[in-house]
Amino acid sequence: MTALRLSEKRKFDINSKKDIDIYRYFLINSDWKITGTCPFDLEFPYLTVPDMIKDKLIRKYLKV
């Protein structure tokens, strides 16, 4: 993958295998080197992108 610019950030898609794989890489390696920088927009009311994604995944799989 190529590095993304800040202007290319997008909403995390809970149903996208690509987005899940990017997050999985982040969890394993503690960095966004696979994309160069975090490719996702931070959404309200979250404080960090990793916590936002974690919460979205939990809610999806627990059907909350």
| Tens-digit pLDDT profile for residues 3-29 | 555 468 999 999 999 999 999 999 999
- Global pTM value: 0.84
- The rounded distance, in Å, linking the Cα atoms of 30 and 17 is 19
- The rounded distance, in Å, linking the Cα atoms of 30 and 3 is 16
pLDDT confidence of residue 8: 86
For 5, which DSSP code? P
Count of CB atoms situated within 10 Å of the CB of 49:
19
| Tens-digit pLDDT profile for residues 39-62 | 999 999 999 999 999 999 999 999
